[in-house]
Amino acid sequence: MPRKINMTVNDIVAYLQSDLKQSVLDDVQPCLQVGKPRGGYFAVPRLVLSYVDYLGALYHGYAGERYHSGRRVFAKSTYAKAFLRDIFGRVDSHYAKHGDLLWEIYRNGTIHLYEPMALSNQVAKIEWQVYKHPDRTVILPIAMGGGAVKNMPLTHLVPVPVLPNEWIQPISTVCLYEDLLAAIDVYTNSIQTDSTTERRFRETINELLQPERTDLSWP
Protein backbone atom coordinates (compact mmCIF):
# COMPACT_ATOMS: atom_id res chain seq x y z
CA MET A 1 0.00 0.00 0.00
CA PRO A 2 1.76 3.21 -1.15
CA ARG A 3 1.16 6.58 0.46
CA LYS A 4 -1.84 8.50 -0.87
CA ILE A 5 -4.10 11.42 -0.01
CA ASN A 6 -6.57 10.90 2.87
CA MET A 7 -5.46 7.41 3.85
CA THR A 8 -7.95 5.38 5.86
CA VAL A 9 -6.93 3.53 9.01
CA ASN A 10 -6.70 0.33 6.97
CA ASP A 11 -4.54 2.12 4.39
CA ILE A 12 -2.21 3.38 7.11
CA VAL A 13 -1.89 -0.05 8.70
CA ALA A 14 -1.16 -1.64 5.33
CA TYR A 15 1.46 1.01 4.55
CA LEU A 16 3.26 0.64 7.88
CA GLN A 17 3.11 -3.14 8.00
CA SER A 18 3.88 -3.76 4.32
CA ASP A 19 5.71 -0.90 2.62
CA LEU A 20 7.64 0.55 5.54
CA LYS A 21 8.49 -2.76 7.21
CA GLN A 22 9.58 -4.22 3.88
CA SER A 23 11.84 -1.23 3.39
CA VAL A 24 13.46 -1.93 6.76
CA LEU A 25 13.91 -5.60 5.85
CA ASP A 26 15.34 -4.77 2.43
CA ASP A 27 17.61 -1.89 3.42
CA VAL A 28 18.65 -2.34 7.05
CA GLN A 29 18.86 -6.10 7.51
CA PRO A 30 21.62 -6.58 4.87
CA CYS A 31 23.71 -3.92 6.63
CA LEU A 32 23.75 -5.97 9.83
CA GLN A 33 26.23 -8.38 8.22
CA VAL A 34 25.19 -11.03 10.73
CA GLY A 35 27.78 -13.79 11.06
CA LYS A 36 30.60 -11.56 9.86
CA PRO A 37 33.10 -9.90 12.21
CA ARG A 38 32.82 -6.53 10.48
CA GLY A 39 30.17 -4.39 8.85
CA GLY A 40 27.12 -2.40 9.84
CA TYR A 41 28.50 -0.60 12.86
CA PHE A 42 27.80 2.86 11.47
CA ALA A 43 25.33 1.99 8.71
CA VAL A 44 22.70 0.40 10.97
CA PRO A 45 22.32 3.32 13.44
CA ARG A 46 22.49 5.75 10.51
CA LEU A 47 19.62 4.00 8.74
CA VAL A 48 17.51 3.12 11.78
CA LEU A 49 17.62 6.66 13.14
CA SER A 50 16.75 8.06 9.71
CA TYR A 51 13.58 5.98 9.88
CA VAL A 52 13.00 7.40 13.36
CA ASP A 53 13.32 10.91 11.90
CA TYR A 54 10.53 10.10 9.43
CA LEU A 55 8.36 8.32 11.97
CA GLY A 56 8.82 11.17 14.42
CA ALA A 57 7.49 13.59 11.80
CA LEU A 58 4.41 11.41 11.25
CA TYR A 59 3.92 10.93 14.99
CA HIS A 60 4.11 14.63 15.80
CA GLY A 61 2.17 15.82 12.77
CA TYR A 62 2.86 18.69 10.38
CA ALA A 63 2.42 21.97 12.26
CA GLY A 64 2.51 24.37 9.30
CA GLU A 65 5.97 25.61 10.25
CA ARG A 66 8.36 26.82 7.54
CA TYR A 67 12.03 27.68 7.32
CA HIS A 68 13.07 31.20 6.30
CA SER A 69 13.51 29.82 2.79
CA GLY A 70 9.83 28.93 2.70
CA ARG A 71 10.38 25.18 2.79
CA ARG A 72 8.11 23.26 5.11
CA VAL A 73 9.41 21.87 8.40
CA PHE A 74 8.40 18.23 8.71
CA ALA A 75 11.13 16.72 10.87
CA LYS A 76 12.80 17.98 14.03
CA SER A 77 15.08 16.28 16.51
CA THR A 78 12.47 16.90 19.20
CA TYR A 79 9.91 14.93 17.17
CA ALA A 80 12.29 12.02 16.69
CA LYS A 81 13.25 12.00 20.35
CA ALA A 82 9.58 11.95 21.31
CA PHE A 83 9.09 8.91 19.07
CA LEU A 84 12.05 7.18 20.73
CA ARG A 85 10.70 8.01 24.17
CA ASP A 86 7.02 7.24 23.59
CA ILE A 87 7.04 4.43 21.03
CA PHE A 88 10.47 2.77 21.23
CA GLY A 89 10.18 3.18 25.01
CA ARG A 90 7.31 0.68 24.96
CA VAL A 91 9.63 -1.84 23.28
CA ASP A 92 12.54 -1.26 25.67
CA SER A 93 12.17 1.20 28.55
CA HIS A 94 15.80 2.28 28.18
CA TYR A 95 14.81 4.32 25.10
CA ALA A 96 12.59 6.47 27.31
CA LYS A 97 15.56 7.34 29.52
CA HIS A 98 18.50 7.26 27.11
CA GLY A 99 16.91 7.92 23.71
CA ASP A 100 18.06 11.55 23.62
CA LEU A 101 21.65 10.43 24.13
CA LEU A 102 21.28 7.79 21.44
CA TRP A 103 20.08 10.45 19.02
CA GLU A 104 22.81 12.96 19.81
CA ILE A 105 25.66 10.43 19.62
CA TYR A 106 24.60 7.99 16.94
CA ARG A 107 22.28 9.91 14.63
CA ASN A 108 23.95 13.32 14.47
CA GLY A 109 27.40 11.80 14.20
CA THR A 110 26.73 9.13 11.58
CA ILE A 111 24.52 11.33 9.38
CA HIS A 112 26.66 14.45 9.36
CA LEU A 113 30.16 13.34 10.34
CA TYR A 114 30.47 9.68 9.22
CA GLU A 115 30.78 8.12 12.68
CA PRO A 116 29.11 8.53 16.08
CA MET A 117 30.05 11.58 18.13
CA ALA A 118 31.68 11.96 21.52
CA LEU A 119 29.91 14.36 23.86
CA SER A 120 31.07 16.29 26.90
CA ASN A 121 29.20 18.24 29.54
CA GLN A 122 30.53 20.04 32.60
CA VAL A 123 30.92 16.78 34.47
CA ALA A 124 32.01 14.01 32.11
CA LYS A 125 32.68 12.83 28.57
CA ILE A 126 30.76 10.05 26.85
CA GLU A 127 31.76 8.10 23.74
CA TRP A 128 30.22 5.39 21.60
CA GLN A 129 30.54 1.62 21.71
CA VAL A 130 28.81 -0.48 19.06
CA TYR A 131 28.48 -4.24 19.27
CA LYS A 132 26.86 -6.76 16.96
CA HIS A 133 24.95 -9.23 19.12
CA PRO A 134 21.25 -10.00 19.61
CA ASP A 135 21.52 -9.98 23.41
CA ARG A 136 20.71 -6.75 25.22
CA THR A 137 23.36 -7.44 27.83
CA VAL A 138 26.76 -8.79 26.87
CA ILE A 139 30.26 -8.94 28.30
CA LEU A 140 32.86 -7.30 26.08
CA PRO A 141 36.53 -6.31 26.42
CA ILE A 142 36.70 -2.53 26.87
CA ALA A 143 39.83 -0.36 26.71
CA MET A 144 40.38 1.27 30.09
CA GLY A 145 43.31 3.51 29.16
CA GLY A 146 47.04 2.93 29.40
CA GLY A 147 46.70 -0.23 27.33
CA ALA A 148 44.53 -1.96 29.93
CA VAL A 149 41.50 -3.94 28.84
CA LYS A 150 38.68 -5.12 31.09
CA ASN A 151 35.77 -7.45 30.40
CA MET A 152 32.67 -5.44 31.26
CA PRO A 153 28.91 -6.12 31.21
CA LEU A 154 27.23 -3.78 28.75
CA THR A 155 23.51 -3.26 28.26
CA HIS A 156 22.04 -1.86 25.05
CA LEU A 157 21.61 1.94 25.44
CA VAL A 158 22.65 2.15 29.10
CA PRO A 159 25.64 4.46 29.73
CA VAL A 160 28.44 2.89 31.75
CA PRO A 161 31.59 4.49 33.27
CA VAL A 162 34.92 3.17 32.06
CA LEU A 163 37.24 5.73 33.68
CA PRO A 164 36.71 8.61 36.12
CA ASN A 165 34.49 11.10 34.26
CA GLU A 166 34.58 9.00 31.08
CA TRP A 167 31.61 6.95 29.92
CA ILE A 168 30.40 4.99 26.93
CA GLN A 169 26.89 4.41 25.58
CA PRO A 170 26.83 0.89 24.12
CA ILE A 171 24.34 -0.10 21.46
CA SER A 172 23.63 -3.39 19.73
CA THR A 173 23.03 -3.04 15.99
CA VAL A 174 20.85 -6.17 16.05
CA CYS A 175 18.70 -4.82 18.90
CA LEU A 176 18.39 -1.47 17.16
CA TYR A 177 17.13 -3.15 14.00
CA GLU A 178 14.71 -5.46 15.83
CA ASP A 179 13.45 -2.60 18.00
CA LEU A 180 12.63 -0.54 14.90
CA LEU A 181 10.44 -3.34 13.57
CA ALA A 182 8.77 -3.72 16.97
CA ALA A 183 8.28 0.06 17.26
CA ILE A 184 6.46 0.09 13.91
CA ASP A 185 4.07 -2.48 15.40
CA VAL A 186 3.54 -0.34 18.50
CA TYR A 187 2.95 2.74 16.36
CA THR A 188 0.52 0.84 14.13
CA ASN A 189 -1.48 -0.21 17.19
CA SER A 190 -1.48 3.37 18.48
CA ILE A 191 -2.91 4.61 15.19
CA GLN A 192 -5.68 2.01 15.40
CA THR A 193 -6.59 2.98 18.96
CA ASP A 194 -5.93 6.74 19.13
CA SER A 195 -7.72 9.09 16.77
CA THR A 196 -5.25 11.95 17.32
CA THR A 197 -2.29 9.79 16.31
CA GLU A 198 -4.24 8.62 13.27
CA ARG A 199 -5.18 12.19 12.27
CA ARG A 200 -1.62 13.46 12.60
CA PHE A 201 -0.33 10.66 10.38
CA ARG A 202 -2.93 11.34 7.69
CA GLU A 203 -2.50 15.11 7.69
CA THR A 204 1.29 14.82 7.51
CA ILE A 205 1.17 12.37 4.61
CA ASN A 206 -1.29 14.66 2.80
CA GLU A 207 1.18 17.51 3.14
CA LEU A 208 4.21 15.38 2.25
CA LEU A 209 2.56 14.39 -1.02
CA GLN A 210 2.48 18.03 -2.11
CA PRO A 211 5.63 19.02 -4.06
CA GLU A 212 8.08 21.39 -2.41
CA ARG A 213 8.58 24.72 -4.14
CA THR A 214 12.05 25.40 -5.54
CA ASP A 215 13.96 28.01 -7.52
CA LEU A 216 15.89 25.30 -9.34
CA SER A 217 15.29 24.81 -13.04
CA TRP A 218 15.75 21.86 -15.34
CA PRO A 219 15.14 21.14 -19.03
- Identify the pLDDT of residue 68: 87
Average pLDDT, the chain: 94
Taking residues 17-41, report their average pLDDT: 92
72, 4 in Cβ contact below 8 A? no
Beta strands 125-131 and 166-172 are parallel
> Is residue 136 classed exposed, middle or buried when 0-12, 13-18 and 19+ CB atoms within 10 A define those classes?
middle
Taking residues 169-198, report their average pLDDT: 97
pLDDT single digits (tens) 141-160: 988 777 788 999 999 999 99
- Identify the pLDDT of residue 103: 97
* Residue 117 pLDDT exceeds 80: yes
Task: Pick the range with the lowest mean pLDDT from 19-23, 109-113, 206-210.
Answer: 109-113
- Identify the pLDDT of residue 96: 98
Local structure of 102: helix, strand or coil: helix
- 98 band by pLDDT with thresholds 50, 70 and 90: very high
The residue among 39, 58, 35, 38 whose CA lies nearest residue 47 is 39
Taking residues 28-37, report their average pLDDT: 89
Gap between the Cα atoms of 157 and 172, Å rounded: 8
- 20 band by pLDDT with thresholds 50, 70 and 90: very high
101, 163 in Cβ contact below 8 A? no
- Identify the pLDDT of residue 209: 96
28, 47 in Cβ contact below 8 A? yes
Instruction: Give the global pTM.
Output: 0.95
The residue among 53, 9, 47, 15 whose CA lies nearest residue 28 is 47
- 37 band by pLDDT with thresholds 50, 70 and 90: confident
Q: Where are the domains of the chain?
A: 9-117+173-208
- Identify the pLDDT of residue 38: 85
The residue among 75, 77, 55 whose CA lies nearest residue 187 is 55
DSSP state of 66: B
